[in-house]
Amino acid sequence: MSRIRLVVRGRVQGVGFRWATVEQGRRLGLAGWARNLPDGAVEVVADGAAPAVQALRQWCAHGPPSACVTTLEETPAPAGEVAAEFRVRG
């Protein structure tokens, strides 16, 4: 099992990035969430099999067609429970 926290910057709010991330996370069988941050970024926390987590990381590097990702920052994932399924948070 693997867990990551990503902060995705660029044109990632108002373009369906969170919802597309949830779809990808569910397709990959991951638990976790995606949420908008006040500074215009999107935060993603994903938990699951290491290959699936890395596949989501790679997907987040470009996101859906309407997004324009400029930076993808990976930081230590927060401790605590993650939802049973992938969802939009907050």
22-26, Cβ contacts within 8 angstroms, sequence gap of 24 or more: 22/86, 22/87, 22/88, 24/56, 24/59, 25/56, 25/86, 26/85, 26/86
Residue 72: phi and psi, rounded to 5, are -130, 110
Catalytic residue, chosen from 36, 57, 87, 89, is 36
Whether 36 is catalytic: yes
* Known catalytic membership, residue 89: no
Q: Are 67 and 15 in contact (CB under 8 A)?
A: yes
Residues belonging to the active site:
18, 36
